[in-house]
Amino acid sequence: MWFFSSVLRICQDKLNKMNKGINRKRAQESRAAIERLYITMRHLFNRGSYKPYGVSGQSLREALLMLSPEIYGSMADEERVEMDGLLYVMDRLPKGLEECRFIRLISKEGFADSGFEVIIPPKRRRNCYRIDEEQMFVEMTRGRSDIYDILTHLTFLYIESSKIQKNSMDAKGRLRRDWFKLEEIVQKEANGEDFNVEIAYTYLSNILGRTFEETEAACKKFSKSNANNSLFHITYWLGKIAIKEYKDGLDREIIFSSSLRDRVGHHIYGDRWANTIKAHILEKSWLERPVHVISANMHSVMNVLYGRAALQKSQEEYSIYELASLISNSDNTEMRQKIRNYALKHGMHQIDDPKVTNISVQLIDTERIDFSLADDDLPVDREWLQSEKPLLLVMDYPFGEQGYELMDELLKPFDDEKDIALHVKSISIMGKAGILEGNKGDIMIPNAHVFEGTADNYPFENDLKREDFEGHGLEVYDNGPMITVLGTSLQNRDVLQYFLRSSWRAIGLEMEGAHLQKAIQSAARVRKSIRQDVTIRYAYYASDNPLITGHTLASGSLGQEGVKPTYLITLNILKKILAVKKNEAVEETS
């Protein structure tokens, strides 16, 4: 009896520790709000249109307010407009969208070849077209994740516009003096006329429900973004359209084109993208060569392999991290172009797809790389490389569910009838993710991906290990899963604490991992279009910690802080691929 009571007490103590910091009721409410958001979005998408301040739009707003995501800060405050969240959203929406009553989400419908100017948001690669004064068309080519992402941001935008409208009117529904003063300022700004900035900040702060200091800081942040209008302009137009709807009944509307509704989920764009890559491989007679797929950015692999040779910079002059920091400096455009030009002459082939998937690919023929200057950073077995002749296929970061579409199509046989497939030997995924313990720039090495909101989980043997990253001044988190979330904008503290403290013991969250791994496992174990023992590598660096105030994605990018973890992961992936010892190669062959 004593034994069983002791075991029970130990189990209870462990459960109490596990549940420490978790508000289970609030976490459950938040999960229900996320589910309600996605059910509503799917319904509205299938219906074809909705009005943000109609009944359906109200359901979206209520669910988002119930969830109150960390990235949207003070969104739930009824008076204060959220500044960092607004900048985060506007960086991901086309310039001028705040002026439009009608937003139409479309697929590829021929506008790229029309006379309309293409508007591309700085932080989301979407082709957008301003059709007239009141209407903006936005292309959605990245699947449902892309659609859910923009609908979430638009819902936030409409919530904030309602605050601006209320702050601009008195109790009797009359426009306040501050509103007319803001209108004068926006007109002067448009005409290039001077105005007293501090007086302008004062009027704006009253309409935003913010202090003078907060308003001044926010205006300066917005002024640094060339792809956005000023905060004066954005506030005025968000308020103007909300006021027109409130006073005159001129509703805003979001429309989904019939073409978009027909094409989503059918891999039309991924199929074209993958076939273009495979056709290039066939044209170059590389079909028999071992392929190593790397999902990363479009600069770090190229810079590690070609940077020193192109710039003639030795290890004695710069370490690889110092060289990477130098190349990444925004003033060194000419240096980056020099590396790219050198790479294109020495084995790198770039395939861009700006009009459809927005996912570029670099095919790198290692046979043509001069590794003499890279030896200190990346020691390779040149004799083995000459006989093996590995081909690197570097693909840009996909977005959410797009990861499944692209990886699934890429790993399919080149010719279904003849069953000709790429000889894929390894797949390496480098990404940036939100970390749940640790700080920006730290490293995460997962052992599984868990798909948020479902029972789907994808465990795997990760070829990258903790010891590969130790000794470089960055914390490393491993032995836990990554949570593949439905949207980075839909996480709050309670949900994140649950992922961290519960038995899931998650180390981070991102948007593509489960989608990519699902495609890899399908190709290896079901379709058998790639080898079952394909080597898998996943490593992420922390772009944010959403559990720490001021460290969310809305607080800004990593900048130079991100250089070291990016290149540390890149180096370790390339070492695993290229620095194969002869005896290891012999064992693999036998």
Residues of the chain with CATH 3.40.50.1580: 267-589
Q: What is the mean pLDDT of the chain?
A: 88
What six digits make up the tokens of 243?
A: 């006021």
Bridge partners of 431, per DSSP, are: 540
Q: Mind listing the pLDDT tens digit for each residue in 31-74?
A: 888 888 889 999 999 999 999 999 989 999 999 999 888 889 89
pTM reported for the whole predicted model? 0.86
Cα 484 from chain centre? 12
Residue 86 pLDDT exceeds 80: yes
pLDDT score for 502: 80
Residue 11 pLDDT level (bands cut at 50, 70, 90): very low
Q: Is residue 572 predicted with pLDDT exceeding 80?
A: yes
pLDDT, tens only, 488-540? 777 778 888 888 888 788 999 999 999 999 999 999 999 899 999 999 999 99
Strand 443-445 versus strand 535-544 pairing type: antiparallel
Residue with tokens 């290890």: 315
pLDDT at 487 > cutoff 50:
yes
Q: How far is residue 10 from each of residues 156, 258, 501, measured CA to CA in Å?
A: 45, 59, 18
pLDDT band at 5 (very low <50, low <70, confident <90, very high): low
Beta bridge partners of 362: 350, 394
The pLDDT of 423-436, averaged and rounded, is 94
Q: What is the pLDDT of residue 519?
A: 96
- Is residue 90's pLDDT more than 80? yes
Give me the pLDDT at residue 23, please: 66
Question: What pLDDT score does 211 carry?
Answer: 96
Cβ–Cβ contacts within 10 Å for residue 478, how many?
17
Of residues 5 and 526, the one with the higher pLDDT is 526
Residue predicted with more confidence, 575 or 125? 575
Q: Which helix (H) or strand (E) segment is 427 a member of?
A: strand 423-435
Evaluate if residue 8 carries a pLDDT over 50. Answer: no
Handedness of CA 421, 426, 431, 434 (dihedral sign): positive
Q: How far apart are CA 104 and CA 156, in angstroms?
A: 17
- Window from 29-38, 468-477, 532-541, 554-563 with minimum mean pLDDT: 554-563
Please name the amino acid found at residue 272.
R
Residue 297, classed as helix, strand or coil, is coil
At 554, phi and psi to the nearest 5?
-70, -15
- DSSP code at position 169: B
pLDDT score of 21 more than 70: no
DSSP-assigned letter for residue 174: P
Distance CA 457, CA 543 (A): 23
Angle in degrees, CA 148, 152, 154, rounded to 5: 115
Residues 104, 106, 109, 111, CA torsion sign: positive
Counting Cα atoms < 13 Å in the Cβ hemisphere of 201 gives 13
Q: What share of the chain in percent tops pLDDT 90?
A: 65
The secondary structure of residue 130, as a DSSP letter, is: E
| DSSP code, position 420 | B
CA distance 90 to 102: 17
- Taking only Cα atoms into account, the Rg of the chain, rounded to an integer number of angstroms, comes to 26
- Half-sphere exposure at residue 370, Cβ-oriented, CA atoms within 13 angstroms: 12
Q: Report the C-alpha gap between 84 and 98 in whole angstroms.
A: 17
**Which SS3 state, helix, strand or coil, does residue 127 take?**
coil
Structure tokens at 304: 């590690």
Q: Is 359 exposed, middle or buried (0-12, 13-18, 19+ CB in 10 A)?
A: buried
- Considering the domain delimited by 267-589, tell me its CATH architecture: 3-Layer(aba) Sandwich (3.40)
Q: Mean pLDDT over residues 402-425, rounded?
A: 85
Q: What is the pLDDT of residues 439-468, one digit of tens each?
A: 889 999 999 999 887 778 999 999 999 999
Give the mean pLDDT of 536-558: 75
Helix (H, G, I), strand (E, B) or coil at 133: coil
**Average pLDDT of span 270-299:** 94
H-helix or E-strand spanning residue 351:
strand 348-351
State the SS3 of 430-487. Answer: EEEEEECCCCCCCEEECCEEEECCCCCEEECCECCCHHHCCCCCCCEEECCEEEECCC
How many whole angstroms separate alpha carbon 293 and alpha carbon 392?
6
CB-facing half-sphere around the CA of 482: CA atoms within 13 A: 33
Residue 252 three-state SS: coil
| Contact by Cβ (8 Å): 428, 537 | yes
Residue 19: pLDDT over 70: no
pLDDT for 102? 97
Let me know if 588 is exposed, middle or buried by CB neighbors in 10 A (0-12, 13-18, 19+).
exposed
Tell how strand 391-395 and strand 290-295 pair up: parallel
Closest CA to 206 of 169, 238, 248: 169
Q: Give the model confidence (pLDDT) of 327-360 as tens digits.
A: 988 888 999 999 999 999 999 999 998 778 889 9
Q: For residues 79, 83, 84 and 85, what is the CA-based torsion angle, rounded to 10 degrees? A: 60
β-pairing, 118-119 vs 128-130, is antiparallel
Per-residue pLDDT, 375: 58
pLDDT value at residue 7: 47
Q: What per-residue confidence (pLDDT) applies to 259?
A: 94
Judge whether residue 584 has pLDDT over 60.
no
**Is 471:443 a contact under the CB 8 Å cutoff?**
no
Is the pLDDT at 416 greater than 70, yes or no?
Answer: no
CA distance 385 to 489: 44
- DSSP-assigned states of every residue in 362-396: EEEEGGG---TTTTTTS---HHHHHHH--EEEEE-
Q: Which of 20-29, 336-345, 540-549 is the least confident region?
A: 20-29
Say whether pLDDT at 549 is over 70.
no
Alpha-carbon span 347 to 59, nearest angstrom? 54
Q: In angstroms, how far is CA 303 from the centroid of its own chain? A: 22
Q: What is the pLDDT of residue 586?
A: 42
